[in-house]
Structure 1
Amino acid sequence: MRFTPPPILLALMTLAGGADGAEWRGLLDVRAVDADANRGFLDGGMGKTRYDAQSPRLSVGQAVLQGDMDVADSISASVVLSAEQQHRGRAVGVREAWLAWSPLPAGAWKTRVKAGFFFPPTSVETDYDSVGWLPKHTVSSAAINSWIGEELRTNGIEWSARRLGRYVDAPYDVGLVAAVFNGNDPTGTLLAWRGWSISDRIGGRNDALLLPNLPSYAPDGPIPAQSRTIHPFREIDGRLGYYYGANLGLGRTLELSSLRYDNLADATAIKDNQWGWRTRFTHLSAVWRPRGEWELAAQAMAGDTMMGRNLVALDFRSWFLLASHPLGPGTATLRYDRFSTREHDHLPTDPNNERGYAVALAYDAPLADHVSLMTEALLVRSDRGARLQIGEAPVQTERSLTLSLRFNW
């Protein structure tokens, strides 16, 4: 069973671009970066950050255009396009493209059906109405959302329902979500052979990612059918995956959510030098806004992934805590990350264990209408034995300082 491909939705938005009611928003992020990492993951290294010591000091970090429109009563459409200097494949990509049906509620329950190519409801670092699924208080995303941004997307249909407490004299809202999707069969490849990252790079629909030059998938290695370039959103085995979850909200004071994800991929399937990876995880998140304008957020993820008949298999874990508070004209934010992978497969010559942590300190301040300046100091320390196979030290400490000038419209 296959879902109608997102290009149809993109074509719809293109035709609707000049229609009455269409709204276009955008973001341009021009940044200066000073980084000391040896070789970043975008250049085939095993660095954890988007930028390394060889990266340009000035660059365009994000260029995003989002179009939203009402197609008919209760039906809306959205498309998100992006461009970047650091890319493989197409310079302009489709981050999201979807249709949504939101019928008028007959009672306390409000429902929505969403179809297309979009992010699962996970991140607590983004605003609901933000452009491009970017973190609102920092330049980089935490490890969990960095991975989701690059290697995981819903290409299918999602149903959600929320019971609004004000209609039943309850102080809280409750919600449910469930989805079926195809694609995402290679999801897990990055965690196994490159590991976690701390980045704001977000993949597009036809994205291509370069793996490190490891001997495991070299032409004479034990997995010769694996290409060094992966396409994370490909469909390989024709199976549907799913996720389901629940959430609870006490106004804006407390928001809790959970999600169970399983792509149900056939781990023995191979297509166009891409393996299927059976990847599943449980995700939990919380946002607490106590008095004093504090915002405290946390996410945690635990799961496993496997390709072949236990040819490559590992458990993965990550969590982070984030605190932000207004300071002067802007907002200061501190985030602490932990991440790890633990292998349990049949290839001792393919080490995939990893552990590490990251600390980000950021400050975001408005400069003028639709213009802001965000600064971020980032430190990432990680231990990954596989780095020895490409001539790198297994333990690395990476630092970067980023100034991000953002124009919104």
Structure 2
Amino acid sequence: MRAVYAHADQSWTREGLGKLRYDGSNDGLRLGQAMLRGQAELADTVSATLVLSAEDDRNGIVDVTEAWLRWSPLPSGPWKTSVRAGAFFSPMSLENNGIGWTPTRTISTSAINSWIGEELRTRGLEVSTVRRGRMLGQPHDVGFSASVFDGNDAAGSLLAWRGWSISDRITGLSEPLLMADLPVYRPDGRLKKQWRSIRVFKEIDDRIGFQLGAQYGYGGWLELAATKYDNRANPTIIKEGQYSWRVRFEHVSARVRAKGWEVLFQAMDGQTWMGAPGAGVDFRAWFLLASHPVGAGKVSLRYDRFKLREDDVVPEDPNGEHGGAVALAYARPLTPKLTLVAEALAVDSTRPARALLGDAPHQRESSVTTSLRWRF
């Protein structure tokens, strides 16, 4: 549960182009998230996981966010291998380490991880293997992963037509997302074939995408990772009101722990387009987060930068934007099951498409949120 005060443009969750999850018309006392995770051991080396989530700004309230089977055979040496099959999040995020892929240091997440929660999900097969250095008396850990998936063909729609957000909202696997009521999507608009309701996990072109990753760790205090993602969607197909978007990007991350400090860094650079080659946007974002214990809790400060560079043949559909955000949060356990988190968030962004809704292209948005998290 959370208490929210927001000074913000109309939120994207309410058909606007605001960057925050809540604005002045839907702040107050809210059910931010409720997660129920069930796990079952089906055999000595096989387990099943199901994650249900509830949010009060979702039609239907409850949805499935993840569901997978894992095979994790006992290692005979320093290499540990596991296989997952189903629908699950990529292990890219350094922020979302709580139950149901929720953040624990802050209330909101960075632009990168907000977008991952909104539009990306691996629905397929993932193989990962890690060489544990301690098994060899070494400080070096090395890992590799590869996955193939379908059903992420409409991903990129929200990023291009709404832009980045700073939020913690996680899209359910069957949940539609509603775009802003821009003229270009209306019956007489240039993109009238696209429904305003986006089905981000829909399979449109029957092509398989892939993701490759590599990780390196040293001595428990340094972790580095790199990821290559390509959904291989055919951008010339539209099916049942949904355009197929080709999405590909590179992602890198780093985590450093030293003297009580924890520093996280993630950066993403890529392209998404539909229709003719180049009819889309180039996207880029990065953030730096630092955390340190203070009293019985932990203070975290995050700085974000994000940008979309338009490469579009539809002048009445401006998709470029740039901006940044700062979040300051304090998380303090009250009991072993109850945690209090407070966060101040400020976002400064410019998106020309806001003028089509009668709003100023440049907006400064802010919120102050207090969250009470109960874990059982």
- Deviation of 1:311 after TM superposition, in Å, equals 7.3
Whether the 8 Å CA contact 2:266–2:287 is kept in 1: the answer is: yes
Distance (Å, rounded) in 1 between the aligned partners of 2:175 and 2:219: 38
Instruction: Output the CA distance in 2 between the equivalents of 1:407 and 1:132.
Output: 13
Contact residue 285 and residue 297 of structure 1 kept, 8 A? yes
Task: Determine helix, strand or coil for the equivalent of 2:289.
Answer: strand
State the Cα distance separating 1:166 from its structure 2 match: 1.8
How far apart, in 2, do the equivalents of 1:163 and 1:59 lie?
Answer: 44
How far apart are residue 164 of structure 1 and its match?
A: 0.9
Please name the residue that 1:64 is paired with.
35
Contact 1:139 1:362 (8 Å CA) reproduced: yes
- Aligned AA (2:369): T
**Aligned 8 A contact 1:310 1:345 in 2:** no
Structure 1 partner of 2:134 = 166
Is residue 288 of structure 2 the alignment partner of residue 321 of structure 1?
A: yes
Match for residue 72 of structure 2 among 102, 121, 141 = 102
**Which letter does structure 1 place at the counterpart of 2:92?**
T
What SS does the corresponding residue of 1:136 show, helix, strand or coil?
coil
- CA-CA distance at 1:203 after TM superposition: 0.7
Instruction: Indicate yes or no: 2:214 matched with 1:259.
Output: no
Secondary structure at the counterpart of residue 354 of structure 2: helix
Pair 1:145-2:113 in alignment: yes
Q: Which residue identity lines up with residue 10 of structure 2 in the other structure?
A: R
* Counterparts of residues 2-401 of structure 1 (less than 5 Å): 30-88=1-59, 90-127=60-97, 130-290=98-258, 292-310=259-277, 312-401=279-368
State how far apart, in whole Å, the 2-side matches of 1:265 and 1:331 are.
Answer: 42
Alignment length (residue pairs): 376
SS at match of 2:348: strand
Using the alignment, how far apart are the partners of 1:252 and 1:321 within structure 2?
20
How far apart, CA to CA, are the structure 2 residues paired with 1:167 and 1:370? 34
Whole-angstrom CA distance in 1 between matches of 2:330 and 2:144: 34
Q: Distance in 1 between matches of 2:22 and 2:184?
A: 26
SS in 2 for 1:406: strand
Is the partner of 2:229 in helix, strand or coil? strand
- Which residues of structure 1 form unaligned runs of 5+? 1-29
Corresponding residue number in structure 1 for 2:371: 404
| Preserved contact between residue 266 and residue 277 of structure 1 (Cα < 8 Å) | yes
One-letter code aligned to 1:345: D
| 1:280-306 superposed Cα distances (whole Å, 9 cap, x missing partner) | 00000000001x210000000000000
**Tell me, what secondary structure is at the counterpart of 1:72?**
coil
Q: How big is the shift at 1:190?
A: 0.8
CA positional deviation for 1:105: 0.7
2: distance between equivalents of 1:271 and 1:383? 32
Q: Cα offset for 1:368?
A: 1.7
| Cα deviation code 1:248-295 (max 9, x no counterpart) | 0113200100100000001011111001000000000000001x2100
Matched to 1:35, the amino acid is: A
2:6 touches 2:27 (CA, 8 Å); kept in 1? Answer: no
Contact 2:278 2:311 in 1 (8 A): no
Task: Answer yes or no: is the 8 Å Cα contact 1:311–1:347 preserved in 2.
Answer: no
Q: Is the 8 A contact 1:253 1:288 kept in 2?
A: yes
Identity of matched residues, %: 53
Separation (CA, whole Å) in 1 of partners of 2:156 and 2:81: 31
**Is residue 261–residue 282 contact of structure 1 (8 Å, CA) maintained in 2?**
yes
Q: Distance in 1 between matches of 2:158 and 2:277?
A: 17
Report the Cα distance in structure 2 between the residues aligned to 1:220 and 1:286, rounded to whole angstroms.
Answer: 47
1:103 counterpart letter in structure 2: P
Q: Secondary structure at the match of 1:191?
A: helix
TM-score by length of 2: 0.98
**Once the two structures are superposed, what CA deviation does each residue of 1:151-184 show, in whole Å capped at 9, x if it has no partner?**
0000000000001112233211100000000001
Opposite residue 81 of structure 1, the aligned amino acid is L
Counterpart code for 1:38: D
| CA 1:276–1:394: 2 relative to 1, 3 Å | same
AA at the equivalent of 1:357: G
